[in-house]
A = this chain, B = another copy of it.
Amino acid sequence: MAIRNPFRNNKVKETDDLGFGTRITGDRDRLIAKDGSYNVLRVGNWSWSPYQDLVEMPWSKFFLVVIAYFVASNLFFAVLLNLVGIDCLSGVKHGTWLENFQQAWFFSVQTFTTVGYGSISPSCISTNFVAAAIALFGLMSAALATGLLFVRFSKPTSQLVFSKNAIITPYQGGLSFQFRVANKRNSRLINLDVKLTMSWVDTNPDGTRQRRFSRLKLERDKVVMLPLNWNIVHPIDEESPFWERTPADLQEMNVEVIVLIEAFDESFSQIIFANGSYCDEEILYGVKWKPMYHADPSGSGKTVLELGLIDEVVSIG
């Protein structure tokens, strides 16, 4: 195989294994999925964080969980009230066990939410104590549910959009690897910092295969603001692992370029991170970017940024 050990004799420095390790688990597996998540499954005594789960699940599932919790808690208290004595709730109209149960559930809901109409109210010591417990439990539950709701609502959503493809394109007399990002929202991102690492599979002299990593140098790895788009440029020089590689080489090496962007989101007052990755089949050749911004034709004096153009390239030569 021609590219066994491709960089062992040149100037490519292997660095920073990104925490992915170098043992090969499967040649054609991505390390970072296209949505930015890690391609890793955690087994054994891993620990579950209900908070994280509740914050990261989709909205529809979150509301289902809240409603299920609300219904189930009050079912439990309705059972308890029936056991303690439905007669001890004044305002309840005696009926079948189902009707009694329904009314106990409604009373529980009215207490849990602290609405407390009073059309049903506790009339014995026993039910008064149960009602006190329901109210306290309801206050605590509401704190969790509404706190989670607000954390979800105020969490900075993924706002950095990456170009679907990267390109290899002329740059200052040589070649460069480029992709671009933009902010989908009108928020202010400040102090952006990008790190690029190339990962590829290499065959050792003994025939075993190993993943290797090399940090890619950038023309600029920090910008202080991101009002428009940011074209991230890795110049392909002698120290680059792209140096003198053909598209076929890159495919055989199972190349993946892993991106980590860090920034401060001023609107949300939080540090945000964005992950991305480009595999060899997502690299285009012989093209350059189509500009994404221009003066506002209506003469407002503003610059117009067209987010829909982020993936657009034009053929060169």
Contacts and interface: CB of A to CB of B under 8 A. Distances in A.
B267 A271 contact: no
A76 interface: no
A303 B228 contact: no
Contacts of A38: 188, 225, 227
Interface string A173-210: 00000000001111110111001010000000000000
Interface string A294-306: 1110001111111
A186 to B, nearest CB: 6
A216 to B, nearest CB: 13
Given A116-B118, A302-B29, A307 B224 contact: no
A140 interface: yes
A70 B134 CA distance: 13
B136 A144 contact: no
Contact of A123 (B119, B125, B224, B300): B119
Given A110-B135, A266-B273, 19 more contacts: A19-B226, A20-B225, A39-B302, A40-B228, A42-B305, A43-B305, A44-B307, A51-B268, A52-B187, A67-B136, A102-B125, A110-B116, A114-B115, A142-B146, A144-B150, A146-B147, A224-B260, A225-B260, A264-B273
